[in-house]
Amino acid sequence: MRTGADYRKSLRDGRRVFILGEGPVEDVTTHPATRAMVEEYVAWYDRHFDPKWQDTLFTPPDKDGCRSPVGYMVPRSPDDLARMGRCFSATTFLSAGNITHTPAYGHLIAMGVQTVVNLRNASPEQRANAEAYRALIARTGRFLTFAAGAATIGYRLREDPAERAALKIVKETDKGLVIRGKIGMHTSPAYAHDVYIGAHNGADYKGHRATFVVAVNAPGVTVVCRKPAARDSNPFSAPLSARFDELDGQMWLDDVLIPWDRVFLTDPFPDPVARWLFWHQLYCWLSKAEFTLGVALACTHAMGLAAHDATVDYLLDLLTDVQTVRSCQTAAELDPEFTPEGYCSPNVCHVAAGSIAMLKARPRMSEILRTLPGSSLVVAPTDHDLADPALAQGLEESFAGGGYTARQRAALLQMAWDHAGSQLDHRESVYELHSNGGIPSWRGRLRRGFNRYEELANGVLQQLGLPMPKVDLQSIRNAPLGARRPVNPTVPPPPPAAEPARNPVTAGKVA
């Protein structure tokens, strides 16, 4: 396991990064828009050296006394999945679910790539390359992030349909493929070492969709990140948004050479690379939900509402949402699926049910947290206000009491506001609804993943005691998933040229 200092040093690698509204970033480890997030990733690596975290982040000792990082495990049993799940749950809670892409997430990507290569029965060389890359990540802690490969809006609206794909293979060389194009938004490209560009990129090679692992610092690569989430520079007022901003971005590729061992040929399987990613993502959503519940519980105590029936009803609503999703995660791990190479994979039906439940619950959970503390949430003072001689005594009288100082109660209220009312929360909510297709896509995944249509229907018919037709409902399961963003949409025709004035008597008649 690499140290945080080693990770920080590795980011000074000549990468070309721009942040919208900020301009070029000379060094992501020191720039005001990226420095705090780099330090959170530094802490992620260093946590593996903290004795308090050993039992969470490492496997039990083997016969030789060696322990392995849980985040880089290759799961082969439900117990392995459960151990990884406990690790992800504990670590993502620390950021209130806002750090969704970590080096461990990158290892899940690499496992998915290996699974896809094996599913299409690729050449021995492709299989060896996929396994070698996964092992490299596990051995070195190299940080890989994920891009589905979707084209940007400008590409999708090009007049020539042949030019609408995100990527184009420019030429083939002895060293690899040279590619050119622009990839739409994905998470944490400024902080990662590599980006996996998935099958939505539209580039085909020898009859298969080509996908790529691209080094962020490769010649010809430019990362363009969205503007930072607006945040107060005072960490007392912004205890979350001042620390956690993964900075989603685009990747531009100008004749970038991808070595052959980083080119992976796939077919359009439904979501195989992401099978572990969706599970990890749901743990991030669950951490956000559990953090919401935790803040609500703390506010209930701080606001003296523990005996208030309406408040307790709010808490029970939050608790129900949390426990529903946690039960889905437990089911996904105890009732797993297995890949051709024997890897244990979370059951997509349980993950889908949990994802749909969480997407439905999220708006209400945020509303409850904004409602529960009452008007104090809006007028909570900052530490600077509490230190102002003109305000200090009055604010202490307004906000102290019940065992809390004004500073303690204000700090909690500021966290509640930052969690449920800041731009960080808004960004996360909007992007998560978009990034995996939202409820419609999850309904499609559940539809395809459920495998008991005939079993249940025929089981009911057998109870009638009559000869009945055998039910075949595979058409439900086999229906294709709806396209999220067409690569070649119909471009609106140009407006018609101005016509000469027509006779108003005959203008509406058809010949």
Alpha-carbon dihedral angle through residues 272, 435, 481, 452, given to the nearest 10 degrees: 60
DSSP 35: H
C-alpha closest to that of 125 among 310, 9, 263: 263
Specify the pLDDT at position 509: 34
Q: How far is CA 109 from the centre of its chain?
A: 12
Which helix (H) or strand (E) segment holds residue 288: the answer is: helix 275-302
pLDDT beyond 50 at 491: no
Domains within the chain, CATH numbers bracketed: 4-68+121-236+244-266 (2.40.110.10), 275-448 (1.20.140.10)
C-alpha closest to that of 17 among 273, 160, 234, 195: 195
Share above pLDDT 70 across residues of the chain, in percent, rounded to a whole number: 92
DSSP 264: E
Asked whether the CA dihedral 270, 274, 276, 280 is positive or negative, the reply is negative
Specify the pLDDT at position 236: 93
Q: Confidence band (pLDDT; 50, 70, 90) for 163? A: very high
Is residue 246 within 8 A of residue 187, CB to CB? The reply is yes
Specify the pLDDT at position 269: 60
Q: Confidence band (pLDDT; 50, 70, 90) for 494? A: very low
Q: What is the pLDDT of residues 219-240, one digit of tens each?
A: 999 999 998 887 788 899 999 9
b/e sequence 92-119, b meaning 16+ C-beta within 10 Å: bbbbbbbbbbbbbbbbbbbbbbbbbbbe
In this prediction, residues 34-63 reach a mean pLDDT of: 95
pTM above 0.75, yes or no: yes
Q: What is the pLDDT of residues 358-408, one digit of tens each?
A: 999 999 999 999 999 988 998 999 999 999 999 999 999 999 999 999 999
